[in-house]
Amino acid sequence: MSFAIRLTIPSNTTKPNAMYKSIALPPCILDEIALVFPSGCAELVGVWFEYQSMKILPVNLDEDYRGNGFVIPIKPHLAVLEEDYTIRLYAYNIDDTYDHTISAYINITIQVIPTFGFMETININELVPGLLER
């Protein structure tokens, strides 16, 4: 399954005032992300991803993704298995003249999360015959 995010960041948007865009996902594994920096960004735009208010990409927390006219391929293989399943793309733009638009394309593998009823009784001997007879 694939998702796309586009975020336009106005000029003079500082890192403490970064813009963000959220994307709601199902429980999944983040397989691949293609982060697109158009020509003209001149590494003046910084980007990172958060899940549950924690920075997850890039993994070196004191840095951000930057670029100019190229795609950064990311293969994080990160699990998004706890509610809320929302990923946020954050970006700032220290260019004093131009707005810039960043795109991210996200490929995921959906994960099925088993649920168990608290009132349900499971007979372990039915699941593993002879287990309790030893």
- The residue assigned the tokens 């890192």 is 15
User: Domain containing 60: what range?
Assistant: 2-133
| Distance separating alpha carbons of residues 117 and 59, to the nearest angstrom | 36
The domain spanning residue 50 has which CATH number? 2.60.120.380
Over residues 15-41, the pLDDT tens digits come to 999 999 999 999 999 999 999 999 999
Whether the pLDDT of residue 75 is over 70: the answer is yes
Q: Where are the beta strands (DSSP E) in the chain?
A: 2-9, 19-24, 28-37, 45-51, 54-57, 70-74, 78-80, 86-93, 100-110
First to last CA, the chain: 47
Question: How confident is the model at residue 113, as a pLDDT?
Answer: 72
Give the pLDDT band of residue 118 (cuts 50, 70, 90). low
Q: Global pTM?
A: 0.83
- Domain count along the chain: 1
Longest Cα–Cα distance of the chain, Å, equals 78
